[in-house]
Structure 1
Amino acid sequence: MDNSRSSPHWAPSPALITLGWSAAALALAALFFSSDSRGRVLFGLAALLLAAASAHGSLVRPRLAADDQGLHVRSLHGRVHLSWTETRTRLRTTRRLGRDAETLEIENGDQLFIFSRLELGTDPRDVLDVLTALRP
């Protein structure tokens, strides 16, 4: 959780975004220095995917915020305000590749927002605890 504002908000870690941009730059450099045509295609795809993921993490900050009125979710399509009375939050645990992965699910009518640890920059369980404490 980032405490630089009065209301709690969560976003991808700046270190992770920096790492993504750096990896995209390395893949782009490898693209230009590779002599193998198949390798160039793979490096180009890697650079494109890493840059897209890093740009998403850079542009949609904060990803989730909460205040007395409700939740604010930010995506590439804009911001969505969800009031507390119409919102249901829960933690979902899924077993993948022999490891438990936790996600925070926020349901509002026919909308479902799913946040992982990477998107929130912290453990979804901690975010749920804060949201539960804020809920009127």
Structure 2
Amino acid sequence: MRSGAFSEQPATSPTSLRWRVSPGFTALKCAVTVVLAVAAYFFAGDRSALTAALVAVVVAGAYALRDLLAPVRLAADPHGLTVVSGYAGHRRLEWSQVERVRVDARTRAGLRSEFLEIDAGDTLYLLSTYDLNARPADVAEELARLRTAGGSG
């Protein structure tokens, strides 16, 4: 079984897989939100610093809350996929709706980034290593195996 993947069956014959954000990184976001809130308290006397600190609390809190509300970013079974959609919603896609699954790798400013692209016709879903808590290439391989096992290859 790949890192970040959860399977209800042994890795040799998966029936359902899920990929979720890293719990450790979610905890870090929550801790940063608390630290920023404490900092805002100490900046209560300085109106502009307080405003900046409160904006930072709201932004960090929003990211942490999304991770808490929708930790599973991608789930797959022999019949299709469920992907995170919007802030914390989910959308179910049958395999027949999925036109292509591929990995988009780019290097910019010396940094390499990989995204799992799920093309569902009018909608393109992009999931990062952070979203999946696994390498997008590994997830793409698992999805190809699962799709083939479901007879929708």
TM-score normalised by structure 2 residue count:
0.81
Shift of 1:38: 2.8
- What is the 5 A alignment of 1:29-68? 29-34=38-43, 35-68=45-78
Q: How far apart in 2 are the matches of 1:47 and 1:41?
A: 10
Superimposed CA distance per residue, residues 28-79 of structure 1 (whole angstroms, 9 cap, x where no aligned partner): 1000112433322221111111100011111113110010001111334632
Which of 91, 105, 120 lines up with 1:80 in the alignment? 91
Inter-partner Cα distance in structure 2 for 1:16 and 1:5: 24
Which residues in structure 2 correspond to 1:50-129 (within 5 Å)? 50-75=60-85, 76=87, 78-87=89-98, 88-129=100-141
Partner of 2:29: 20
Alpha-carbon distance between aligned partners in 2 of 1:17 and 1:5, rounded to the nearest angstrom: 24
- Structure 1 gaps of 5+ residues are none
% same residue: 32
Q: Which runs of 4+ in 1 moved over 6 A?
A: none
Per-residue deviation at 1:85?
Answer: 2.6
Deviation at 1:121, TM superposition (A): 1.4
RMSD: 1.6
TM-score (norm 1): 0.90
CA separation in 2, counterparts of 1:129 and 1:121?
15
Which moves more between the two structures, 99-108 or 4-13? 4-13
Q: How many residues align?
A: 136
Greater radius of gyration (CA):
2
Q: Is 1:3 matched with 2:6?
A: yes
Superposed displacement of residue 126, structure 1: 1.3
- Look up the SS of the partner of 2:6 in the other structure: coil
Residue ranges of structure 2 left out of the alignment (5+ in a row): 10-15, 149-153
Distance, in Å, in 2 between the alignment partners of 1:115 and 1:70 is 17
Deviations 1:78-111, CA, capped at 9 Å, x for gaps: 3211122331101001223321100000011101
Deviates more, 1:69-78 or 1:90-99: 69-78
